[in-house]
Structure 1
Amino acid sequence: MDTITHTLFGLTTYGAINKKEKDKQTKRALLFTALASSQAPDLDIIARVTETGRIMDQMWHRGLTHSVFVAPIWALLIYLIVFLIWRKKDKMIFFLAFVNVLIHIGSDSLNAWGTGFFEPISSMRVTIGVIPIVDLVIWGIFLCAYILKKVRKSLPVYKIWRVAWILVFIHIGAQAIQGQIVHQEARTTYEQTTLTASFLPGHFTVLAKEDNEIFIYDQSLWSKQSEPVIIDSSEEEDLTPLFEGNPRAEVLMTWSPFVVVTTEDDKLGIYDPRFNRGGGPMLFEYIDLTE
């Protein structure tokens, strides 16, 4: 998810806590905890150590720091920082940090960019693709809750945010069910498939691969499948020179569910067909065959 959404997750989980019996310092510690833990897994953006590690942000981003096995470590680190600043030992601090880290990595796994959810045990990229990286429905739910909080001051604030979170989980569940039905239908037809969610709720883009062809089409449970765009992939090409000349291409091959192999414009390269920018592939690694 985007930074704004992660920040909203932190603010609203803080809001969902009944803080009536908490003193001012504890409230400050909890607010810091919620915001810090909602962003903590993304601290990998400053860990650019190797050339392979620097490849196009999202190709290395969301790796080990987004692992479910690292979540308790993040929570413990934040708990220790809070203790050093505010000298608070409230168990709620660790619990809030742990929950927000899990929400962060879980929500990132639900969109097409995915995460290294099981690292270091497995390098598999978990990319479910049932919600977009910016989900306007989630924003809308939180906005409505905020407005309700302002106009109905008699209602307990923490209950408003808890109801908002219930609605968010219902929305995500509905998206997941619809996405999996669409995805399962594609699996009965094609050899390899993956899914990306549209900004419009209940609508998905299916990407499928069969032999040397990539099929891209839009689908929902309530509308007919759109006419697929078909892309030819030069699967017969030897990619050894590409991997030797551009190590980042091998990272992309490992990271993506499947790639398009191209030799156009005297370039031997691969790209992930899920992502486009300005009409061209966003994640594209190649070597110049004329050199």
Structure 2
Amino acid sequence: MDSFSHVVLGAAIGEAMLGKEIGRKAILYGVLASNLPDIDVFGTLFFSDSQQLLFHRGITHSFLFITLISVLLGWLTKRWSKDSPVNWINMTWLFFIAMLSHILLDSLTAYGTGLFEPFSNYRISFNTIFVADPLYTFPFFFCVLLAFRAKNGSPQRTRWNNAGLCISSFYLILAILTHQYVYHVMEKSLKEQRITFDHFTVTPTPLNIFLWMGYSHDKDGAWIGYYSIFDKEKKVNYYRVQRNDSLLLPFASERSVKDLKRLSKGNYTVTREDSSLYFNDIRFGQISGWDKPNEAFAFKYNLNKNTDNKRALNRIKHKESMCVIFASLLKRIKGK
């Protein structure tokens, strides 16, 4: 999820766990801890672009990392604040739960989270919520803000903070249930059209849990389609995307290609644009693909040598303004 969502969730957890004992310090500790797993962004100083893509949400997002760091931070915090009414075990629990919320929330998105590293490099991705969803974050933020403004220990403070946690949790549960429903509808439509595939994935489109993208996987490519829970018919129109592995032959020994294949879990297509060759990760969806099937994918990694791929997830030059794209998204969400 985006950093702002982690900040809000961390603040709410801090207040709920130790707010009555140490006041607003609990919120500060919760915010800091909930964003600590993203310390991996500093990997850009040491790794290549493709290596950084794998390092992100890797070891610093694992159960092992947050357990060890929680114990260390709990002990250090108590050592620095010897007069605190809270013992180091309770501080450790605060750090652990705040960081746990971060890695679990990230695992609900499409990127993939290395929860079990270094013992397993498999990335967990439940594909139930987009990396930024205002319907999750803003009501939550409003409640936490009201709690923060109330006096420490007051019923209003506890009430608003608990309301934020309940509303946000309900939204995540709704996202999970909607994902399961849409998965059933889209997979059934795929089978009814007698389309063969190895496995099938459904993931939300930007900023909502109402319009979803579904994509299949086989050795040659994927079938992609879109479905809104407000669509009148449950038949999904799928279109074919070829992987074009032959275009990767000149790059077969490149470390970047191996990294990208691992990151995408085989869900990719290779395209040539002018003199550049791009590795497109299907999992992150398209820009306005719900409206125009041939639109570019959100993740485009330039395979040409000496190219900057630090912004592979948002390097696209939009043919239309963001207002037009957002309007088309809202229109498609309403159903057809």
Give the structure-2-normalised TM-score. Answer: 0.72
Paired letter, 1:35: V
> Which position in structure 2 is the counterpart of 1:95?
93
1:260 to 260, 269, 286: 269
Aligned equivalents of 1:36, 1:255: Cα separation in 2: 28
The answer for the alignment partner of 1:218 in structure 2 is 226
Matched letter for residue 136 of structure 2:
I
1:162 is matched with which residue? 162
Once residues 217 and 58 of structure 1 are traced to their aligned partners in structure 2, the CA distance between those partners, rounded to angstroms, is 26
Amino acid of the residue matched to residue 71 of structure 1? I
What amino acid is the match of 1:100?
A
Moved more, 57-66 or 178-187: 178-187
- RMSD, aligned CA: 3.1
> CA separation of 1:150/1:2 partners in 2, compared to 1, >3 Å: closer, same or farther?
closer
- 1:198-213 equivalences under 5 Å are 198=205, 199-213=207-221
Report the Cα distance in structure 2 between the residues aligned to 1:147 and 1:82, rounded to whole angstroms: 26
Where do 1:16-95 residues align within 5 Å?
16-17=16-17, 19-20=19-20, 22=21, 26-27=22-23, 29-48=25-44, 50-52=46-48, 54-55=49-50, 57-87=52-82, 88=84, 89-95=87-93
Provide the rounded CA distance (Å) in 1 between the counterparts of 2:80 and 2:89: 16
Q: Which amino acid aligns with 2:282?
A: P
Distance 1:124 1:147 in 2: 37
Alpha-carbon deviation of 1:265?
Answer: 4.6
Q: Distance in 2 between matches of 1:50 and 1:193?
A: 35
CA distance in 1, matches of 2:9, 2:53: 21
The farther-off stretch of 125-134 and 179-188 is: 179-188
Identical counterparts, % of pairs: 21
Instruction: Kindly report which structure 2 residues correspond to 1:128-277, keeping only aligned pairs within 5 A, or say none.
Output: 128-146=126-144, 149=147, 155-187=155-187, 189=191, 190-198=197-205, 199-223=207-231, 224=234, 226-235=236-245, 237=246, 239=248, 241-244=250-253, 246-257=254-265, 258-262=267-271, 265=274, 270-275=279-284, 276=286
SS in 2 for 1:47: helix
Tell me, yes or no, if the aligned pair for 1:116 and 1:125 is still in contact at 8 Å. Answer: yes
Report the more deviating stretch, 266-275 or 111-120: 266-275
Give the whole-Å Cα distance in 1 for the aligned partners of 2:240 and 2:119: 36
2:59–2:65 contact (8 Å) kept in structure 1: yes
Task: Answer whether contact 1:242 1:249 (CA < 8 A) is retained.
Answer: yes
User: How many angstroms apart in 2 are the aligned matches of 1:90 and 1:77?
Assistant: 10
Is 2:294 the partner of 1:284?
no
Which amino acid in 2 is paired with 1:286?
L
Q: How far is the alpha carbon of 1:142 from its aligned partner?
A: 1.6
**What is the alpha-carbon distance in structure 2 between the residues aligned to residue 280 and residue 238 of structure 1?**
18
**For the residues of structure 1 that align with 2:94 and 2:148, how far apart are their CA atoms?**
24
Deviation at 1:56, TM superposition (A): 7.5
Matched residue count: 281
Residue ranges of structure 2 left out of the alignment (5+ in a row): 192-196, 289-294, 306-336
Paired residue type of 2:212: F
Write the deviation string for residues 263-287 of structure 1: whole angstroms up to 9, x where unpaired: 5656665321233579644232535
Residue identity in the other structure for 1:159: R
Tell me: CA distance 1:29–1:143, structure 2 relative to 1, closer, same or farther (3 Å): closer
Mean alpha-carbon deviation: is it higher for 269-278 or for 198-207? 269-278
CA distance, structure 1, for counterparts of residue 136 and residue 79 of structure 2: 34
Contact kept, 8 Å, 1:16 with 1:160, in 2: the verdict is no
Q: CA–CA distance in 1 between the matches of 2:248 and 2:203?
A: 27
User: Using a 3 Å threshold, how does the CA distance of structure 1 residues 247 and 233 change in structure 2: closer, same or farther?
Assistant: same
Cα distance, 1:151–1:158 mapped onto 2, change above 3 Å: closer
Higher mean C-alpha deviation, range 274-283 or range 62-71: 274-283
